[in-house]
Chains A and B, each alone.
Chain A
Amino acid sequence: MAILEVQNINKSFGNTRVLEDISFSLEEGNALAIIGSSGSGKTTLLRCLNFLETPDKGKIIVKNNVLFDADSASSTSENEIRRKRLHFGMVFQNFNLFPQYTALGNVMLACELLAKERSDYKTNRKKIHNEIEEKAKLLLDQMGLSDRMYNYPHQLSGGQQQRVAIARALAMEPDILCFDEPTSALDPELTGEVLKVIRSLAEKHTTMVIVTHEMSFARDVADQIIFMDGGYIVEQGNAFDVINNPKEERTKQFLARYSEK
């Protein structure tokens, strides 16, 4: 059974139609790569999954729970949307770390705020805090940042910042982790370290949706690929097949442009 089911998502900004009838599903533990040229709607799709945008039509189902259904006007209270968001994690193109917190502080902040809502928070405050700190340190360690925990974002390279951002997203234990061009803001020599981390997450069967322009990375790491153009899904399927044997003419053209570069 699919962990994520996206059905017929449509989204317009004013008169511009940005997403047209987007449907796909994703198995637990699999990685999905979304490729496509600039303006094809990839970011908007991820933002819909994270409730940063509201689709005009369609359904989003996670673990058989309908999180979003444009047809049934469910309550949109802040609290409810917050809870739904926690099914997804998001790693942004430009990191968006909180500058006034250390790497460790960035990873812990949201966890601690969420823990305050637990009924046993008052009595176990110390213990909960220590657990969160342990978990955050472990995550930063896995990102290869054990010697950088107490540095502020401006003291870190872009690649290190992005790895902190990945740890921060993982700390919330999302069902599905989304990446929006995680290496596009990085110098070429720094992309490798971030891709390596994402690769290791894939090996641990983290469920991921990755928007990327790195074609060989997409082919190697993703189980499944979606090619988008002009708001439509033009082609989707097994990662190896889509990259090496594209069926649609537009996919071929797009990939040809990439292999020229």
Chain B
Amino acid sequence: MSVSIIFSKLFETFGINCTIFFVTLLFALPLGLIISFGSMSKIKWLQKIVRVFVWIIRGTPLMLQIIVIFYGPGLIWGGNAMPRLSAAIVAFIINYACYFSEIYRGGIQSIPKGQQEAGQVLGMTKAQIFFRVTLLQVIKRIVPPMGNEFMTLIKDTALANVIANKEIIMMSKEFATKGLIWPLFSTALFFLIFCGILSILFRYLEKKLDYFR
């Protein structure tokens, strides 16, 4: 098999990793915000439930969560399992939403109370204070930890092969069983380039927000 064919196969299967990455972000970023509001809720029982849920999700391996979501419903209710890719993506969304929620919570709680009060005494509404005063300050604070999460996420996508999603690592292992070892090592290149682009993007974002403290 020629090198170019092998690379195009690897490239194709890296599409699965990218799909998981982008779909997860699309849903986990807003879901995380909702979860963070839950974990800061003044309604004590809601806050408890949300915090226990976040603790369970963050405290157990993502690989296990993927397996449970794929096999669990079938074992309990019988019937057909979810498509493999969907099951993996659902697990990623739940898992990452919980991590994001903690980042949001840290960001929101780190804004001094005085900012909100200054807005209040100037006659601003709660919504105006959130969108015009607090939000950008929160974004500035969460950009660095979010950068870390994004990088971890793209590397974590390889875990989806635990339920036989044919992503890039699984593909390269197939080559290895046929006696071709180098494709397995070359997968590193894909992740490196992806993470390189991510870190450039995040550094740009940090720079953009550098004009205030």
Contact = CB atoms under 8 A, between A and B. Distances in A.
A92 B117 contact: yes
A78 B213 contact: no
A153 B211 CA distance: 10
B182 interface: no
Interface stretch (A32-40, A106-114, A235-243, A251-259): A106-114
A96 B115 contact: yes
Contact of A85 (B114, B123, B132, B212): B123
Interface of B: 112, 114-115, 117-126, 128, 132-133, 136-137, 140, 211-213
B211 to A, nearest CB: 7
B207 to A, nearest CB: 15
B213 A99 contact: yes
Given A94-B114, A109-B132, A52 B121 contact: yes
A59 interface: no
A17 B122 CA distance: 28
A79 B149 CA distance: 40
A50 interface: yes
Contacts of B128: 113
B120 A85 contact: yes
Nearest to B126: A78
A97 B115 CA distance: 7
8 residue pairs, one from A and one from B, having the closest CB atoms: A110-B122, A96-B118, A96-B114, A154-B213, A90-B121, A99-B212, A100-B212, A86-B123
A231 B21 CA distance: 58
B161 to A, nearest CB: 43
Contact of A98 (B118, B121, B125, B140): B118
Given A99-B137, A113-B132, A152-B212, A85 B118 contact: no
A172 interface: yes
Given A98-B118, A99-B137, A110 B123 contact: yes
Contact of A154 (B118, B119, B121, B212): B212
